[in-house]
Structure 1
Amino acid sequence: MSNTDPAPPEVDCTATGFAGVLHPREVPLGGPRAIRVRRTLPQRERSLIGAWCFADHYGPHDVRGGTGMDVPPHPHTGLQTVSWLFSGEVEHRDSAGVHAMVRPGELNLMTAGAGICHSEVSTPATTTLHGAQLWVALPDSARDTDRDFAHYAPRPRSSGGVTSRVFLGELDGDRSPVHTFTPLLGAQLDLDPGTEVALDIDEAFEHGVLVDHGDVVACGAALAVADLAYQGTGHSRLHLANRGDSPARVLVLGGTPFGEELVMWWNFVGRSHADIAAYREQWEQHDARFGAVAGYEGRVGRLPAPPLPNATLRPRPNPKV
């Protein structure tokens, strides 16, 4: 997921007081011939929002020509993956034996814990693929927990020109039953044209607003597609506006500041270079830590890990705001 250049410059990243807008960068998902996604987390200016440590936004992609998602079995440690679609359908298989479909408006949350592998493939019936892939870092006390999977279809709630779907945590009295290991918020908000809203939020949370489409102003900043606006703790309201004459849609992500330093490289979340090196070696050796995916019939059997860089992987400090 991160820079896998085998010979990068060795940089000791320092935390900043950034509080503003993160702009996305385009990267391939699952290989150089895969679909392109827009990545907003992590970045040097901000590595985390609460425990949210990774955010990809993709589409809408017309995949009728066979250019859909095909991510072969690949490993994860120390995190939960949050799959959220706006259109299309993705088949999920993992080494815990789960076979599930990701559909629009339905949460699929996979807990990697000590180790898991999974595949993601858009289905033949999908014509347009459009959604977000998000990761949540697990605290040290839970990073070696067992593999797990949860599915939840939140009921839409509409009021004052806003339709909300709360898939993690709580917002405006609507609460998801899905368990998280740190306090979190994850919600889709659809705003009618001309709608302005001030959401009551937890002052202990920091928040991010990721734009899917529309003429959106959030936290006082005008945003483009896949931009992510950041608001720190100490606020009781989150201000959103759709200034356009067509509907807008955003994802709101929040959580209490994550107090632990993380080392993130490729698909692994650890606490040290030694952690990452061990995970990589175990994946390459088909170690039981990750298990195996049954039923995947894609282009390659599993993704090989890239080589480690010739530098020591270091934690990214959390900015103080």
Structure 2
Amino acid sequence: MSGICTGRVAAVTGAGRGLGRAHALAFAAEGARVVVNDVWSSSGEARAVVAEIRRRGGEAVLHSGDVSTDEGAASLVAAALGAYERLDTLVNNAGILRDRMLVSLGEDDWDAVVAVHLKGHFLPLRHAAAHWRAEHKAGRTPRASVVNTTSGAGLLGSVGQANYAAAKAGIVALTLVAAAELGRYGVRVNAVAPAARTRMTERVFAQAMAAPAAGFDAMAPGNVSPLVVWLGSAGAAGVTGQVFAAEGGRITVMEGWHPGPVADKGDRWTPAEAGEAVRGLLAGARKPGEVYGAG
């Protein structure tokens, strides 16, 4: 198999189903050798992805480690190096949901979601970055890429998903810091906020879940994968520290926090003065996007 990722090795977390499965298949279709990670691989779904890639003439291996643990994340990188002697692209995609309204959200549900999403991005990224830094120091500067998975919930907020939204917002910050720190080693880091039909989004996109009888299925997970594959290829050289939204046939460059209207007294404000100034600033500021589910 040949394509824009020929010769590259890609590791995709949470690749047993949904977006991760679509990404793994798409990387393989473009010539990449793929490490298919899924902690639930015992269910057979991740094994089926590996088998499908091989049936199509590609190369893939299974990794069943828990990437929210240091041991599991380290073994993911080791699996790529052991099977293919290299790692070029890391796609952090694994995730879970434990939706509750804020006052009903327990500590265990908070910790579980933050661990899988945010820690499950940080740990594989850290271990992969350590490998790429070592390669750079040995004179073999990589053309490596990391694609993180954020969400519109992390960019705008989402009612009933405080844990998920906070973790996804953290992933954006992690992406920006990693892009700034790792560029010197030949590593690009970007994030994608996908909108697609998966088990995790059944409730979020309830009104748009049914696939059309004919024509373009805008909610198919595979619609997001071409952008992810391109970002993971050497062809995306120079693109780093960016956040993209992908839905159906639409790709959007997300523009994050920028300074807006400002007032400077040149001295300390009184509370009343500060309030008056803020109201004036807000009158000329861009309105924030509506939190999902708030309407």
TM above 0.5: no
Relative CO higher for 1 or 2, CA cutoff 8 Å, sep ≥ 6?
Answer: 1
Between structures 1 and 2, the one with greater strand share: 1
With normalisation by structure 2, the TM-score equals 0.29
